Structure 1
Amino acid sequence: MIKVRHTYLLILGLLSVLSGCNTYKSFYKKTHYSITENSKPEKIYRLDLSGQNLNVFPKEVQGLSNLRMLNISNNPNLDLEEVFKTITENKELSILIMDSMDIDRLPKSLEKLTKLSQLSLVNNPNLDWKQSFNVLSTLPLDFLNLKRNNIKTLPENIVELKSIKDLNLSYNHLEGTQNFEFLAKLPKLYSLWLDHNEIKELPETIGKLDQVRFLYIDHNELSQLPTTMKDMRKVWVIHGGYNKFEELPPVFTEIPGLFMVHMNNNQITMIPEVYSTEKYPLAGLLLDNNPISGVEKEKAQELFKGFFLLSFEQK
């Protein structure tokens, strides 16, 4: 049986799901791609120098007193020590994107960016993560993007990133139980992306992530979930699409805060009996592109008729 959540929470969940994690792409007005003689330094809030094959970082950046977002991605020939000598004067900088830079260490001078709240380090697989997290632990980061870095094991000092709210670990190769023990010690962790990690089985330690609200475990090789997930008491939304589930995981009825689940593009054929006998807060369910029979769909539609969102669409 179903206990429906407050409407405002459902709306919040939908908005959060749709927003994704690329918040650094949508802030601070017009994006500039160069600094020209006609540029008004005080009017430049967003500067994108990515993919410009730069060998020397433009000194003019130092005069951009209102700069909030800087993208220097895909410029592997830049000397980061020189870059940070320049940009540490940009006291308002809060978003920094350094994807595909072929770097192995973060300059300690990064610590001087005292308002830096969002950092992207996508596709820098040679980075020394222990050294990097030592540097980043001094910053007020709330969003960290570590996609495509071939990470298998996180160093223990990731627990020092106390301010992190949104952590993207997509397209890595995470394995073992310790990763989840460390992540559980990030007190403000709100959204966690573990998609595209080739995960076959989640360890029982995932249940320790009782602070997480939004969990992305889609595009893996999962066929079942550990019962310890019932201890993730605060999770609202789980994305579990594009896996190998053959039934809707029963543990969803035991997670006290869960109200929306994406289980599209699996091999689900049936809904376990527990969904008709237990009370649970789940009120949104996407089962698109699963081989569910017509009879089972009719049963599910009756069982979940009080849901604010229920979908079985097929492509």
Structure 2
Amino acid sequence: MEFAFNIGNIFHWNDRNLNKFPTDFIQYKYQIYQLYMKNNNIEEIPKWINCMDKLTHLYLDNNNLSVFPDELCQLINLEVLFAPKNIFKSITPMLSKLIRLTQLNLSYNEIKIIPREIFNMSSLWLLDLSHNMIERLPEIFYPDELYYGEIILNNNNLKCVPDNLTRLKNIEYISLHHNKLLYLPALVFRKEAKINVDHNPYLSYMIMNTQANCCGFLKHPLTEILPNIMLTCKSHDIVISPKIKQVLHVEGDAYCPTLKEFALRMVYVWKVSFQKNDIPISLNRQITSGPAALCMQCSRPLFNYFYICLSNDGSKIHLEALFFCSKVCHKIYTQLFEINNGISFRELKYCIK
């Protein structure tokens, strides 16, 4: 077998009808930096893959792979791992040991669950798990420490996404189209980010900075028994995040937030340090999981006291959900909306089911 290396020791071995890794790779283990093995019939990654410790890029697209051996996770210099169009049904948490991995593409597989260790890898810039069978995402524990720029999750079976997805400081693009989303986080994504939630038939409203076409034209068959808050507006059933415990309408009497609400906001904003046993468990859970919403005007974190407004511009089927910490912020937002857009802010009546 003849090996021809390009500049930078990039080795191409695509479209060769291979059913296994050639063992000749071993003698070139210190020379291979990028390895392309696309469009073959490989069923197994050999355990001796760990001897190729110079490897930075590995492309395994369109093979018959179903598992990553633990030895692969010893390639500490690996930066790019692409293995779309295989038959993976799960992802080993051991991949999180690849501390320099910036791009992971496992699209077009049969994956149902994402390990929390993978979703919380601090090195990842790109995560592509589109065209799988994923129904839920793990929580993001420390969003400020994550590097994510793009997360591609379209064409799965997702019903919701974690709230902390909105707190990713570098995020530029999130693809959630063609899922089964019931609701979105009541939080504002960074304005530079593009959020695509097109073609979610059960998503009956949108939030700021999202692209939502062809949504809300079906009613989820299990909506009535889901642990969410249900609103009815113009004959539409609207599912709101279950984190929202109390919803007040701007046309009602204005009540002051409780001391509990003020305390939660203060601790969260100022990052007050405390021990887990210093406060009740319920409060600790609320603070660590983050706010249920952000005020659309002042971005104040909201935990269990805020106003929700529903509106549309008359030309869209879906509604827009807006959250405010007070009537003052609601009034400012309304005035600015009318000035910037030249049209009146049209608020819709709704009731809680």
TM-score (norm 2): 0.52
- 1:101 matched to which residue of 2? 64
Q: Which has the higher helix share?
A: 1
- 1:294 matched to which residue of 2? none
Aligned partners of 2:113 and 2:142: how far apart in 1? Answer: 11
CA contact 2:21–2:42 (8 Å) conserved in 1: no
**Residue 34 (structure 2) pairs with residue 68 (structure 1):** yes
Pair 152,128 (structure 1): closer, same or farther in 2 beyond 3 Å: closer
Q: Which protein has the larger Cα radius of gyration, Structure 1 or Structure 2?
A: 2
CA contact 2:21–2:46 (8 Å) conserved in 1: no
Deviating 4+ runs (over 4 angstroms): 40-44, 123-128, 182-186, 245-248, 264-268, 270-276
The one of 147, 164, 172 equivalent to 2:107 is 147
The one of 128, 135, 138 equivalent to 1:179 is 138
- 1:206 matched to which residue of 2? 163
TM-score (norm 1): 0.57
User: SS state of the match for residue 179, structure 1?
Assistant: coil
Pair 210,248 (structure 1): closer, same or farther in 2 beyond 3 Å: same
- 2:24 matched to which residue of 1? 59
CA displacement 1:260-311 (0-9 Å, x = unmatched): x54345567357588994758xx9xxxxxxxxxxxxxxxx9x76xxxxxxxx
Aligned partners of 1:149 and 1:279: how far apart in 2? Answer: 46
Percent of aligned pairs with the same amino acid: 17
Which stretch shifts more, 76-85 or 142-151? 76-85
CA contact 1:241–1:265 (8 Å) conserved in 2: yes
CA contact 2:173–2:194 (8 Å) conserved in 1: yes
CA contact 1:247–1:272 (8 Å) conserved in 2: yes
The one of 193, 197, 202 equivalent to 2:156 is 197
- 5 Å-filtered alignment, 1:1-315, equals 36=2, 39=4, 44-50=9-15, 52-57=17-22, 59=24, 62-63=27-28, 65=31, 67-72=33-38, 74-78=40-44, 80-85=46-51, 87-88=52-53, 91=54, 93-99=55-61, 100-112=63-75, 114-126=76-88, 129=91, 132-158=92-118, 161-176=121-136, 179-181=138-140, 184=143, 187-199=146-158, 201-203=159-161, 205-211=162-168, 212-222=171-181, 225-230=183-188, 232-233=189-190, 236-244=193-201, 249=206, 251-252=207-208, 258=209, 261-266=210-215, 269-270=316-317, 277=334
Aligned partners of 2:102 and 2:114: how far apart in 1? Answer: 18
User: SS state of the match for residue 108, structure 1?
Assistant: helix
The amino acid that maps onto 2:316 is T
User: Structure 2: which 5+ runs fail to align?
Assistant: 218-314, 323-332, 344-353
Pair 73,108 (structure 1): closer, same or farther in 2 beyond 3 Å: farther
Q: Which has the higher strand share?
A: 2
Pair 55,190 (structure 1): closer, same or farther in 2 beyond 3 Å: closer
User: SS state of the match for residue 229, structure 1?
Assistant: coil
CA displacement 1:44-81 (0-9 Å, x = unmatched): 52413355223451515743736434335543245512
- 1:26 matched to which residue of 2? none
